[in-house]
Every structure is written in C-alpha cells, then in structure tokens.
Structure 1
Amino acid sequence: MNIRLVLLLVLLSLPRASGAAAAKPHQHAVASAHALATEAGLEVLAQGGNAFDAAVAVSSTLSVVEPISSGLGGGGFFLLHEAKTGRDRFIDARETAPAAATPDKYLDAGGGLDRDRAVNGPWSAGIPGLPAGLVHLAREHGRLPLSQSLAPAIRIAREGFPVYERLAKGYAARREVMERYPGTRAVFLADGDPPEVGEILRQPDLARTLELLAAKGHDGFYRGEVAGKLLAGVAAEGGQWQADELAAYRVRERQPLRFSYDGWTVVTAPPPSSGGIALAQMLQILEPWDLSAMAPAQRVHLVTEAMRRAFRDRTFYLGDPDFVRIPQRMLTSRDYAAGLRATIHPGKATPSDLLSGQQTPLEDEDTTHFSIIDADGNRVAGTQTVNLLFGSGLVAPGTGVLLNNEMDDFALKPGEPNAFGVMGFEANAPKPGKRMLSSMTPTFMESPGRVAVLGTPGGSRIITMVLLGVLGYADGLDAQQVAALPRYHHQWLPDVLSAERGALPADVAAALRAMGHTVDTPEDAAGGRRSSDSWGNLQTVEWDLKTNTLHTGSDPRNPIGLGKTVEAGKKTKVKP
C-alpha cells in the first residue's frame, strides 16, 4: 500500500468536522418555551454539565410546567451534535403502538373513525418514549448523573409553579375530557377548582415519578411501581396495555438527514419524522430561485407550491422505517426535486389532486421545542409532545403522568384525516411496537460563518414553520428575527393556503388568489376564520463564528418563553 493511499484512508476515517470545529463559544445558550425550563438548563450547565445534560433538565422541566404541550407520558426527538467528534446523532424517543391498538378498535358502529376514541382516553395513548429518551441522553451523552439533571424538574413538581394564561385556557378548552378521569381531577382540581392564572400548581405524584426515574433509570418508569400504576390506570378506563410492552420500550439512535441549501449544510430529523424529508424536498425545489429578490406574492406562491408537493409525498410514502421501506434516497435527491420543480407554474397555483373537504383546524400551542449550544460547541435541538392539548386528558392515578394521544398520528383509517387534517395510508398504519409518523423537525444549520439550532411546535405546520425559519437564516436574519417571522402553510390537502394574522397583507393575498390559490387568513371573515391568529412557538440559538458569540431567539408569540446566554461558569438557580 503506497503512502498516498494510507494518508487518504486516514483522512477518510477522521470524523467530519463542521465549520465550528476549530472554535469554542465559551458561552452557554438555551432557548425554550418556558423561563423555568431555560433556567433549569443553565443551572445544570453551571454545575459542569454539557448540552446533553442541559437537554435532560430542560426537557424534564417542560414536562412539569407545560403539561399542555409535553410530558413524561409523551415522546420526542433529540438532534445532537458532539463538538469533540463532529458527529451528529438523532435520538428517536417517539411513542409506540400497543399491541391491542389495531385499526378496527378505532371504528364506530357504522365503520367510520371514532374520533373520541382516537384522541381522548386510554385508546388514544401510545407507549411513552420520553422517559427512556432522558435516561439515554444522560447515560450515553451526558457528564452528570441523571439525578442531578432531573433535580430542577423534581423540585418544581414538588414546590409548584404559577399557572399561566395558556395553561388555564387550554384546560378550559379540554375540561370536559380532563374531568372524566379521577387521576386527572386529582392533579388539576386538587383545590376543588380548575387552574387559574397565578395560582401555584403542585404535582407531588409527578415529583415521585421523576425521583424513581432518577434513582432507577429505565426501570424506574417502565417497570416496578410506576409501570404498575400506569397499567392499572389504563385498564381502569378500558384500555389494554401490557407490562412487557412497557418494559420492552427502547429509544432508537438514527442517522440524521443531511443535505445542502444555498451555502448551508442542513442536518435534520429522519423518519419516523416526516419533517426532514419534507424539508429537504422543499428547499431543493426552491434553491435555484432567488427568493430574496422576488415580490412577496411571487415568493409565497413558489414556497407554497413546494410545500404542496412535499406534503403529497408525506401522505403516501412516509412511516416508521423499522416497519416500512421508505424511498428516502429518491425523495431527497436533487434530480427528484428538479422534476417536482418543473411541474410548478410560475404564475398559477397547482390544484391538489384530491380535496378532502376538511378545514385546516385551529392551531394550538401543543408540542414544545428547545435549542441549546454549550460552551464547548455541543448542541441539541429537542422537540417533544403529547400531541393535542393535554394529550389524551388521562392522568394515570398516583403517577402524575398525563398520557399522550399520539395514536391519532397513525392512519387509523386509511384516507381519513387526523386532527391536523393530514391523511395517511398503509405506510403509517398502526402495528404493535410501530412508531407513528411525526411532524417534529429539530434542525441544525451550518455555514462557514454561522451555526443555528431551531425547531417549533405546531402539528403539521411544524414542517413549514421550520422551512420559513431556514429561509430566514439563509436571508441573513438574526435569531430573534427568525423566531418572529410571519407564518403561512399549505399541506396538499385540504387545498388551502392558510396564514396567521399579518403574514399575508391584503395586496399579497389578493395576488395569490388571482394565481388560483384559496387563501385563508384571520383577517378574511369570508374565509370562515379557519386560521388562528398566531402559530407555533419557535425557539432558536445562533452561533456567530466570526465574532464567536451566541444569540438566542424566543418566539414573541409566547410571553413565558425565554432565550438566554450566559458566560461559562456563571452560577444560576431556577426558582418556581
């Protein structure tokens, strides 16, 4: 073997480094949807933890203070970057289908989809994945013991936190379902009344569950005391979980999806997230066009047409890669994107093939996202959820664990839209142990001068909000400007371009209608006000490599969110 070949093999064996590999920011930055969660992450970083320990602290604290959006009874995705090795990893802590949850269990007497069973109570809940995700993060990637990273969440669950407006309003919206279940009433009606803004919500059972998770790791949740109470709580309401299903739950480490766009490397979520493939398709369709130089209506038209095509492919091709063969190479190829681009008329909307007749539902602030970069350059994009507001509404008595309603993210009846108006077919049909398709899209962006971490909640709109965030960074916006960007969305079916208030000025909306788009905005009373006033809750962190400084962007739509940077070694303590 000659020396040139040896050198080539050595170079190929080295970890791929990003543009940030040569520097360390010497600061920590955390952006999350709740100030207590951000401070919890910073507290753990100040104790010597890394970004992955901080992710455990932020995630578990959000599970306490944002039951409206996520929790131990749900699941999530964690996109990780290890500064020392330059490696990116994707932790799949998505929920799985119980064996008993076959499609026939979700049909009513007439053969239609039983919407109540699909979104409320025990049959709507998949086997939770988030606790296993926290254990895995701490064991495989963190520096600190799990008990130290979970300490802020345990403290806040026990001592309580002030109820905020979104939580109180969300409870009011779901009150009828929440109060069906004694375990839920014990948490949210502990003082005899529904949660009110400003009162302290304490969750001692959830604190106990977190303590067992901290002490025993995986077995502290999926076996023993907590598992027994979860099984009993589900069975008491007519559900059918099995002890071996809980005990067998494992996270999956998957290879992140990586592609380039306009001088950036984008690293994002692979299946069972649908977001990464859709993001790759949309950006590669759009890349040849100079969007920044276009008139607003023309830009929105082309972006909308890219959204439309990506969501059509989502419907037919995507599911759990452990169960279905996904043509990922084709769907993310530039040649395929070029073919899709060729079908876009520059001045005319393309009608979607089939109209479902369903309206895009009002957007709730369910799901949550956080972004972290630590002083060494490690980074985490974490998105977690219980699906709809307060998930299934069912708290298993004695656990404090509010169960998800992620079973609705399966195609429970092929061709029938779910709660977000998104359809699916056999690729996303439920099977025992299968993970339901998700829209969660935690994402990294890397360029020679900047690194960004971003993500958001928002159901099917997560994907398009992350798309608009990526386009914003590519246009040169800073982190806070990206977090504040106006948002619009198209998901193939229903064939409607929806927008939040102020996103499409009247002249832009009129020009889009002239192109053939059906446009629905809150300002348009004739449109039935299907679009809500504001969407999502984007949390982002940016590393400016030229100045070696970190910057955060926390969505201004969410007054309790917080993005914060601190010097490495600075002491901080979260206070409820």
Structure 2
Amino acid sequence: MRFAPRWDVLLLGFLLGTSGAFAADNPTPSTHEAQLAQRPGHAGIASANALATEAGFEVLSKGGNAFDAAIAVASTLSVVEPESSGIGGGFMATMYVASGHRDVFVDARETAPAAINPKDYLNPDGTPNRDTALKGPLSAGIPGEPAGLVWLAKHYGKLPLTVSLAPAIRTARDGFKPDSRLIGSIQEERENIQRWPASAAKFLTNGNAPIAGDIWRDPEQAHTLELLAQYGDSGFYSGETAQKLVDAVRAAGGNWTLKDLSSYRVRERAPITVDYRGYKIITAPPPSSGGVAIAEILNILSGFDMSKLDQVQRTHLVIESMRRAFRDHNDYLGDPDFVKMPLDMLLSPYYADGLRQTILPDKATPSSMLAPSSGQDPGMHTTHFSIIDADGNMVAITSTVNYVLGSTFVAQGTGVLLNDEMDDFALVPNKPNVYGLLGSKANAPEPGKRMLSSMSPSLVIGPDRTAVIGSPGGSTIITQVLEGILAFIDGGDAHQVAAHKRFHHQYMPDVVTVEAGAFDPATSDALTRMGYTLKTRDSWGFMNVVIWDRRTNKLDAASDPRRPDGLGKVQ
C-alpha cells in the first residue's frame, strides 16, 4: 500500500520558526460574556463520591461560591478517595469567574525536587526502574494540591479555609464507611503498603484491608488539614507538617528538602480555547497535554461534516485524529516554564489542514514514526469533579496522585499519602511510562519542573447550553473528555454524556482500546478490515458532568454510572 506524503511534517518545518508560546501566567477575559450574562439561580455538583458532593453543597449553604465548594469537594475526596487524589498530589482547574467574565486556569501540578537524579529511576541495564518511579518516596513530586486550595480561597472564594475545609476535617476525624473501590485498591496494593509502617498504620488493620461496613478514621490527615485551614500555605509548606514530610521522605531514601516545599508556587495560565461547530471549548494548557490534544483533534475534525457520516466513517476519522494529536503530544509538550513549545503551530487550523490531508479515507494509518511500545493498560486512579453555582461561576477540577494509591508511601505523623507523579516525566526518553505514553526531552525531569499531565478539565460554551466536564483515566483522559464534548455537542444530557461508550487511541501502542458496547459487530468488523487492531478493556474513567441549559435556566448534573458511589446533584 502506498501512503500519502507526510505533509504535516513538511508543514511543521515551515511553521516552527514562527510559532511561539501560547499560555500566559494570567487569567484571560472571556469571549463569551454575552452567552453567560444570565445566572442559573441554583447549583449543580458532580463528583465521584457522595460525601464529597454533599460537602460542596454544605459549603454553598454557608454562603460560599463554586470555588469554596471546590475546596470542600477536593479536600473531602482526599479523605474518602485516597486511591485517586489527595493533598499529597496535585490538580488542574479550568474555571469561569462570573463576576469578572474571566476564563482562568489554575495549575497546582506537582514539581520535581531539586535533588532529582534521573539515574535513580534506571535499572543497571538502562531500562526504567518501575519500582522507584511508582513506589516509595523517590516516586513523589512536591505536592501542589494544598497550595492550590489556598489559592482558590484567597483569590476566588468568599469563605475562610476554616469553613471550606471543615467537612473534610470532620469526615477524617469522625470517620466514614469506605466504598468498595477504596477497599479493593487497598487489597490490590497491600504488599506495597506493608513496606512502610505509616502506610500500614493508615490503610491496614492487623495487616488486612478494611471490610465493608467498617468505620475508617484518619486523625493524622485531619490534623494536617486543620493546620492548612489555620495557617494557609505555611500550614503545609513550612512548620510542623513540612518538617514531618521531609523527615519521613529522607528516612525512607527520598531526597526532599524544606526548600523544595517552601519554594512551591501555584501558577495561573491562560486556558486554551478552540471553536468547533459553534461551540467554544475552554480547556487546559501545558503542563497538561490534554487541551492541546483536544484542540488539535477538534481542528482536524472541523474539516469534515460528521453529521453526514455513518459510525464507521466517524470513528475512523476520530481515531486518526487522536493518533496524530498523540504523536505531537509525545514530541513537543512539557512544562511551559522550562521548554518552548510550538503551540501556535499545534493549535493552528492551517496545521490541522495539513494533518487532515494525511488521513486516508478508507484505511488506518500505521503508527510507524516510533517503534511500537508495550505499555501497560492505563489506570483510572485520578478524579474529576464539576461545579456550577447559582451565580454562574464554573469549576472543572481534575485531581490526582497518579497511579492507584499513588506511591503507597504515607509520611509518618501527617496522614499524607504521597503521589507517584515522577513517572509522568519522560524518565527514559521514548520509553513508555505506566500508561504506555512516550516522551521526549521536553518532558525530561529537572529541578522544580512540572511533569506533563493528561488532565483535561474543560468548559464547553454553546449557543444555548454550557457544560463543565472532565474525567480521570490516565492517558485516556484526553479521549474520554473529547468524546464527552462531542456527545454534548450532539445534544446529550449530563447522564448521556457521562455514560457515553468510549474508545481510545494514543499513537503508541498502535491499538484501539474499546469499551464493551461502544461498537456493534458490523462496525467492529469494518474497522478491522480497515486495518485497526481493536482491544476491549473493562475499566474506564469516571466522568462527572454538570450541564446548564440556558434556554430553561435549569442545571443537570451526573456522575458516571460506571461508579455507583458518585453523586451528581442539583439544588
């Protein structure tokens, strides 16, 4: 078979010299002020845990806004859903501030410690050492979530942290019944948890995971949250908590210092925006790769009239667009404070035109730029929640500790489970991480650098409806959010968008992973004949969506039906 020339590569060479950085370290005025001039008059919250959703509404009832509610939801998830997120990790937030008609992106991503040494993550033969990259203190970046929560309260909230953090503190101190997913995660990671006494003390009883119906208390995390509530940044990044974190990390072979913690800073950046079929999508800029990839895919698809295509043709074009966007993800993206990326090029409709020309109408394009990799299936251990308040403020936050239960390392005396985000760096160039993603020097580890993320919290503003959307899911976050956006644009309500069946392609490995029921047998057969390798997977991220129908001024909130413990609620 003869393939069309790689015009995208030729166009790349032409545009590189004129492209520049895209994201700026400040919020941007909204270009959809007129569309969002009204107010809903009531609120909607969707999260992966009912206790977290109710915590958000509790804070709203005390006079808080969406940003105060976000603090309550995130901190409560740190207590009740530690397998996915927490104050030992970080988050990214895409927000709309109604009072100033501003789109804002808050980057509370983790950073590498100053003493980072890539050799710590290599085996003697030069291959990646998955243990040091994923387990224990060397796998942990400096947490950003505590600073991010303080930032939201200081710059956007209406209430003091003592009020917004109160539900999480109460839940940690008084206890809660762990759900089946948390119990299963502890059972899955039991051997790793037993490697560190503080981890075993937090998660195990007599060496065993909790059982259904147990009351689980976390008094040490309650105390850490109380210090954060009372003292703000200094309650975590200096003083008692910081000293305990550093002592615990270094005693277990890690390399954190007090300066690493005191030097951490939240970044505000201009979100990425893209227009598609009359809808404006506001999404995450680097160090998230998600927004760039979503914008690139939508720009490619904008050249096709998708409404006139059958499922096979639509799926073919979406997969090929995913393939090209993930190739660019691997080559160019990283922390904008450290690397210059050709974002003007990647986000250009002219670049998308060139990519579109390389898509064959009836054949899959092999992912042959790099040798195929054999990365593991992506995990789902991140979380997302969506909020719209009565004034029309909107918050989409994706928060993570990376893999299931992060590093499984709890810092003695703090209750803080540390992340394992160091694996999100390209620790070994062009070798897959735990999600099978490849990386280049743009995402190589450096002191103070933020590792690339797939988190894609997004807002979608249409002629009559608005959506706040996001999902966990490792590398599949990007494609799940993309497909959720497309389902919303096609008219889906919050429940339909959250339940939408999913498929994923990330360039390498050259396989389309498919949720059962996403394709009927005829579609699967047709795609196989076109050259696609389809692989069914059972676990997908848990999307949480809030939709505002501005015609009726009603909100609709839904938590992913794949996880029955979540709650989407309007009141």
Counterparts of 1:103-252 in structure 2, within 5 Å, are 103-190=118-205, 192-252=207-267
On the 8 A contact 1:19/1:446 being kept in 2, the answer is no
SS at match of 2:72: helix
Q: 1:339 aligned to 354, 374, 377, which one?
A: 354
Shift of 1:99: 1.5
Q: 2-side partners of 1:213 and 1:25: how far apart? A: 32
Using the size of structure 1 for normalisation, the TM-score is 0.93
In the TM superposition, what whole-angstrom CA distance separates every residue of 1:526-555 from its partner, at most 9, and x where no partner exists? xxxxx2x13010001011010011111210
1:542 maps to what in 2? 547
Q: Work out which of the residue numbers 28, 50, 55 in structure 1 matches 2:70.
A: 55
Partner deviation per Cα, 1:67-98 (whole Å, 9 max, x = no partner): 00000100000111111211011000000001
Structure-1 separation of matches of 2:32 and 2:155:
21
**Counterpart of 1:406 in structure 2: which amino acid?**
E
2:387 matched residue in structure 1: 372
Q: Paired residue for 2:367?
A: 352
Q: Deviations over 1:195-250 (max 9, x none)?
A: 22221111000000000000000000000111111011111111110111101101
| Corresponding letter in the other structure for 1:86 | H
Q: Which 5+ residue runs of structure 2 have no aligned equivalent?
A: 1-27
Letter of the 1:384 partner, please give it: S
Three-state SS of the structure 2 residue aligned to 1:27 is coil
Match of 1:563 in 2: 568
Counterpart AA for 1:302: L
SS in 2 for 1:492: coil
Query: Which one-letter code corresponds to 2:132 in the other structure?
Result: R
Q: Report which stretch shifted further, 373-382 or 15-24.
A: 15-24
Pairwise CA distance, 1:16 = 4.1
Partner of 1:294: 309
Aligned match of 2:49? 34
Letter in 2 for 1:293: K
Taking the TM superposition and a 5 Å limit, the aligned residue runs for 1:398-477 are: 398-477=413-492
Query: Is the alpha carbon distance of 1:424 and 1:192 closer, same or farther for their aligned partners in structure 2, counting shifts above 3 Å?
Result: closer
One-letter amino acid of the counterpart of residue 564, structure 1: K
Q: Which of residues 510, 528, 535 is equivalent to 1:513?
A: 528
For residues 30 and 270 of structure 2, the distance between their equivalents in structure 1, rounded to whole angstroms, comes to 14
Which is further off, 313-322 or 290-299?
Answer: 290-299
Aligned amino acid, residue 513 of structure 1: T
CA deviations over 1:378-429 (Å, ceiling 9, x no partner) = 0100000000000000000110000000000000011110000001010000
Report the alpha carbon displacement of residue 357 of structure 1 after superposing the two structures with TM: 4.3
Q: Distance in 1 between matches of 2:94 and 2:39?
A: 19
The letter for the 2-side match of 1:318 is: L
Distance in 1 separating the partners of 2:132 and 2:110: 17
On the 8 A contact 2:373/2:431 being kept in 1, the answer is: no
Q: How is 1:392-403 mapped onto 2 (pairs within 5 angstroms)?
A: 392-403=407-418
1:263 and 2:239 matched: no
- Of 66, 84, 93, which aligns to 2:108? 93
Q: Tell me which of 497, 503, 516 is aligned to 1:501.
A: 516
Report the alpha carbon displacement of residue 100 of structure 1 after superposing the two structures with TM.
1.6
Q: For the residues of structure 2 that align with 1:362 and 1:47, how far apart are their CA atoms?
A: 43
Q: SS at 1:464's partner residue? A: helix
1:490 to 492, 500, 505: 505
3-state SS of 2:69 partner: helix
2: CA distance, partners of 1:199 / 1:508: 46
Q: 1:278 is paired with a residue of what secondary structure?
A: helix
| Residues 19 and 447 of structure 1, relative CA distance in 2, 3 Å threshold | farther
CA distance in 2, matches of 1:317, 1:150: 38
Write the distance in 1 (CA, Å) between the matches of 2:340 and 2:137: 30
* C-alpha separation in 1, matches of 2:209 and 2:284: 37
The one-letter code matched in structure 2 to 1:74 is G
1:161 partner SS:
coil
Change (3 A) 1:15 1:316: closer
For the 8 Å contact 1:366–1:387, the answer to whether it is kept is yes
Does the Cα contact within 8 Å between 2:322 and 2:507 map onto a contact in 1?
yes
Q: Deviations over 1:138-180 (max 9, x none)?
A: 0110000011000000000111111111111111111111110
- How far apart in 2 are the matches of 1:293 and 1:361? 36
CA distance in structure 1 between the partners assigned to 2:29 and 2:343 by the alignment: 26
Indicate how the Cα distance of structure 1 residues 150 and 359 shifts in structure 2: closer, same or farther if over 3 A, else same: same
Q: In the TM superposition, what is the alpha-carbon distance from 1:191 to its structure 2 partner? A: 5.5
The Cα shift of 1:193 comes to 2.6
Distance in 1 separating the partners of 2:477 and 2:371: 21
**1:192 Cα deviation after fit:** 4.9
Distance 1:270 1:369 in 2: 17
Letter in 1 for 2:469: L
1:345 is paired with a residue whose SS is coil
How far does the alpha carbon of each residue in 1:296-329 deviate from its partner, in whole angstroms, 9 at most, with x for none? 1211111000000000000010000000001111
Bigger shift: 15-24 or 114-123?
Answer: 15-24
The separation in 2 between residues aligned to 1:160 and 1:505, in whole angstroms, is 45
Alpha-carbon shift at residue 374 of structure 1 (Å): 0.3
Q: Bigger shift: 104-113 or 206-215? A: 104-113
Query: Aligned match of 1:552 in 544, 550, 557?
Result: 557
Given residue 325 of structure 1, which amino acid in structure 2 is its aligned partner? K
Residue 17 of structure 1 and its aligned partner are, at CA, apart by 4.3
For residue 405 of structure 1, what is the amino acid of its counterpart? D
The one of 28, 37, 52 equivalent to 1:22 is 37
CA distance, structure 2, for counterparts of residue 424 and residue 541 of structure 1: 33
RMSD value over aligned CA atoms? 1.3
> Which position in structure 2 is the counterpart of 1:573?
none
Counterpart position of 1:312:
327
Equivalent pair of 1:355/1:494 in contact (CA under 8 Å): no
- Secondary structure at 2:406 match in 1: coil
